[in-house]
Structure 1
Amino acid sequence: MLFTPATASAQPGRTYTIATDVTFAPFEFQDGSGNFVGIDIDLLHAIAEDQGFSVQIQPVGFDAALQAVQADQADGVIAGMSITDERKNVFDFSDPYFQSGVQMAVLADNDDITSYDDLRGRRVAVKNGTEGAAFAESIKAQYGFETVYFADSASMYDEVRTGNSVAVFDDYPVLAYGITQGNGLKTVTEKEAGNDYGFAVNKGRNPELLQMFNDGLQNVRDSGRYDEIIDSYLGEGAASSDNSIPGLIKSTYPQLLKGLWLTLVLSVVGIAIALVIGAVFGLFRVSRNVVLRGIGSVYVAVFRGTPLLVQAFFIYFGIPAALHFQMSAFTAGIITLSLNAGAYMTEIVRGGIQSVDKGQMEAARSLGIGYLKSMRKVVMPQAIRTMIPSYINQFVITLKDTSILSVIGLAELTQTGRIIIARNFQSFNMWLIIAVMYFVIIMALTWVSNRLEKRINA
C-alpha cells in the first residue's frame, strides 16, 4: 500500500492500515485458515463495511502496534487496548466498544488457592501492559505476593501449568476463551471492574477516522450485529478444536508451511545480500588503505555490537519516522538480516583471506601481477575453500535469527507458532512440532555443508 500521511482526511473508500496484536484471543487472533479474526477484527470489519472504507490488518504485537501508530506506519490500532489517562496523552481514542474486567485463575485441580488471601508469599503471572497486570500490582502489597511478567497470555498460562506461579490475572474474556480451548485453568474470583477498550489513532491525527469508527460502532450496536460478534466468541456456542498432535498438524499445517516458506525466503535473500556485503567490507578490512579499513571496522563494530532486535526496531520504526516515509515489514526484515549477517560475513571473509599464506600474494606480485588481480586469482580461490563451512554456519544462524523479526509483524515460523498457540493454548505440542521442523531444515543444511566440504577438500 502506498504511504498516505496520517494527517490526511479520512474518507469512505480509502484503505486504512490498522495495527493489532494477533496473540490476544478472543479479541484478535488467526484462525486455522490463516484469516485474522476475533471480536476486535470482526467488529472493525463490520464498522468498515457500514462506513464504506477498507482496512489492511498489520499484525505486529501489542507493543509494536502502539509504536507503529506513533511512527505513522499505521493509521490506527485496535488490540484490546484499555483507555487510560496515560495513553490519552499519546493517542486519541474512540468511544468505548467493550467493557472489560479482571479475574484470577489457577490450575483446574488446585483447591488451595480460592481467594487473594491465599496468594501470600506466592508468585503470580501477568501480561505486559494489561488490566490484569495493573490490578495485580495494585493489590500485591496488600496480599503479599510477587508478580512475574510475560508477553502473551499463553506464556502466562504455561507459567501456572508448570507450577512456577500459582495464579494468573487476566482480562476475563481472554480467560473464558482460554478455558474453553483447554488451557487447564479455572477462575476462582468474581470479575473485578475494568477499563473500557477503545480504538485509537496517533494524537491529533485522523479525527475523521475516529468519527467514522464511532458512527459505525453505533450502527453496528443498533443493528444487533455487535451482540452476534460477542456471542460467537464468548457465548456457549464458542467452538473448541482437536488439540492432539495429529489434530494440530492437520489443522495448522497450511499456516506452518507458510511460516516456514517466509523463514526460508528471508534467510536465503538475507544471506545472499549479506554475501555481497561481506565480500565488499571483508576486502575493506584487509585493504592497505587506512580509510577503507576504518569503514569496514566501523560497520562490523556497529552491527556486531548492537542486538538484532534493536536493529529491527530502528530500521522499521526509527528510520521511517525520522525521514517521514513508510517501509514494509518484509523490506525492513531483509535489510536488518542482511546488514547484521553481512557484518559476520565480513569477518569470515577477513579471516579466510588472512588464513592464506602471505607467500602466495608475494609470489604473485613478484611475477608482476597487480594487487587486485592477485587477490582475485590467487588469494580468494584459496580463501573461499576455508570459508564454506563458516558460510553455511552463518546461514543456519540467520535462519534462526528470522524469529526475532516477529517483533515487526513478520509471521515467520516461530511467530506462526505463537499465533497458533494464542488461539489454542497448546504450547508444548506446538513448540514440539515447530522444533522438529527447524531440526529437519538445519540438519539438511548441515548435510549440505559436510558434502561441500568433502568435495572441495577431495
Structure 2
Amino acid sequence: MRTLKTALLAAVLLAAGAARAAPPLTVGTEGTYAPFTFFDQAKNLTGYDVEVMKEVGKRAGYDVKFVPTPWDSMFLALESRKFDLIANQIAKTPEREKKYAFTAPYLVSGAQIIVRGDRKDIHGLDDLRGKRVGTGVGSNYTKLLEEYNKTHSPKIELKYYEGNLPVVLQDIAAGRLDATVNDRLTAGYNAKQLKIDVKLVGEPIELVPSHFVVRKDAAGEAVAKKVDQALASLRQDGTLEKLSKSWFGADYTK
C-alpha cells in the first residue's frame, strides 16, 4: 500500500513539475553576425543579442531555444513558424511594419561611413559620389545608399555583397573599395578582430533602434508584450546597460 502511495505521490509531483516547466520560445538568429550573434571559439552561440535574449527568457519565464538561420531566409522562416521571434539587430522599416510586430528597442546603433585608416578625403555621403562602396544585399544601409543615389549625381558606385561585413572591411583595407556604410558597433568589433586598419569617419548618418521581431498575429503580439515587460525590467535594474558596456564599451541602449 505504501509503495502504491509513493508511486502516486511521485506521479503527482512529476505532473506538477511538468505544469511548472517554462514554455519554449524558439528564436531565429544568424550566428554569423558578430558581435550580435555568433559562435565563439568553443562553438557556443553568443553575442549581445543572444545574451540579451537569454536574460529576457529568464525574466519572461521562457525556455529560450536558438535556431541558427541564414539572413536571406530569416523572415520567411518566421512566417512559416520555424521559430517564434527573430533576434538579429533588426531595425524597423515601413515594409517590415506592414508584415511583422516589433518589441521595444533594446539597442540604438548608428549607421556610419567606414574607410581605410589613411583616407582623409571622405567625411560624409556627398564625398562618396563617384566612389566604390561595398554594401550588403537587402540591408538598411543599402537602402539608405540607394535612396541617396535617386536624388544625387554622380551616383555612389555600389558593389553588393551577401551580408559578409568582414570581407567588405578587408576589401576596403586592400584598396578594392573606397568605403562602406554599416553599423558603427559591428564595424569596430570586426576591425579589431581582423586587425585591419579601417576607421569610422564623420557623424553617424542616422541612429537606428534595434528590435526583436515576431509574427503580426495574436500569439506573436502576446510574446512581444512579455518580452517588452522583461526588457523594461532589464533596463530598470541596469542589466541592459551592463551588457552593452560589456560588448561595446559604452551604453548604447538609449
Q: Which category of TM-score, normalised to the shorter sequence, fits these structures?
A: 0.7 to 0.9
* Aligned pairs, number: 226
CA contact (8 A) 2:215 2:221 kept: no
Structure 1 residues 139-191: Cα deviation after superposition (integer angstroms, max 9, x where no partner): 23526311122122112213323322100100111122223322431011111
**Aligned with residue 162 of structure 1, among 170, 174, 179:** 174
1:212 paired residue number: 226
CA contact (8 A) 1:122 1:146 kept: yes
Q: Determine whether 1:77 maps to 2:86.
A: yes
Q: Determine whether 1:21 maps to 2:30.
A: yes
2:245 paired residue number: 231
Segments of structure 1 that go 5 or more residues without pairing to the other structure are 1-10, 237-458
Q: Which amino acid aligns with 1:146?
A: E
| More contact order relative to length (CA 8 Å, sep ≥ 6) | 2
CA contact (8 A) 1:160 1:166 kept: yes
1:102 paired residue number: 111
Segments of structure 2 that go 5 or more residues without pairing to the other structure are 1-19
| Aligned ranges 1:399-410 → 2 under 5 Å | none
Partner Cα separation in structure 1 for residue 54 and residue 222 of structure 2: 17
Partner Cα separation in structure 2 for residue 196 and residue 128 of structure 1: 20
Partner Cα separation in structure 2 for residue 160 and residue 154 of structure 1: 10
Partner Cα separation in structure 2 for residue 185 and residue 28 of structure 1: 22
Higher helix share: 1
Higher strand share: 2
Q: Which amino acid aligns with 2:202?
A: T
Residue aligned with 2:245, SS: helix
Partner Cα separation in structure 2 for residue 225 and residue 102 of structure 1: 25
1:268 paired residue number: none
Residue aligned with 2:89, SS: coil
Kindly, what percent of the aligned residue pairs are identical?
25
Of residues 159-168 and 211-220 in structure 1, the stretch that sits farther from structure 2 once superposed is 159-168
Q: Determine whether 1:139 maps to 2:148.
A: yes
**Aligned with residue 150 of structure 1, among 138, 155, 161:** 161
Bigger CA radius of gyration: 1
Cα shift at 1:48: 0.5
TM-score, length of structure 1 as denominator length: 0.47
2:77 paired residue number: 68
**Aligned with residue 197 of structure 1, among 190, 193, 210:** 210
Taking a change above 3 Å as real, the CA distance of residues 70 and 191 of structure 1, as seen in their structure-2 partners, is: same
Partner Cα separation in structure 2 for residue 54 and residue 157 of structure 1: 37
Cα shift at 1:12: 7.3
Root mean square deviation of aligned Cα: 1.9
Partner Cα separation in structure 2 for residue 82 and residue 115 of structure 1: 22
Q: Which amino acid aligns with 2:221?
A: P
2:59 paired residue number: 50
2:15 paired residue number: none
Structure 1 residues 260-314: Cα deviation after superposition (integer angstroms, max 9, x where no partner): xxxxxxxxxxxxxxxxxxxxxxxxxxxxxxxxxxxxxxxxxxxxxxxxxxxxxxx
Structure 1 residues 307-329: Cα deviation after superposition (integer angstroms, max 9, x where no partner): xxxxxxxxxxxxxxxxxxxxxxx
| Aligned ranges 1:13-412 → 2 under 5 Å | 13-140=22-149, 141-142=151-152, 144-151=155-162, 152-181=164-193, 182-204=195-217, 205-235=219-249
Cα shift at 1:17: 1.3
Q: Which amino acid aligns with 1:26?
A: P
Structure 1 residues 355-401: Cα deviation after superposition (integer angstroms, max 9, x where no partner): xxxxxxxxxxxxxxxxxxxxxxxxxxxxxxxxxxxxxxxxxxxxxxx
Q: Which amino acid aligns with 1:186?
A: K
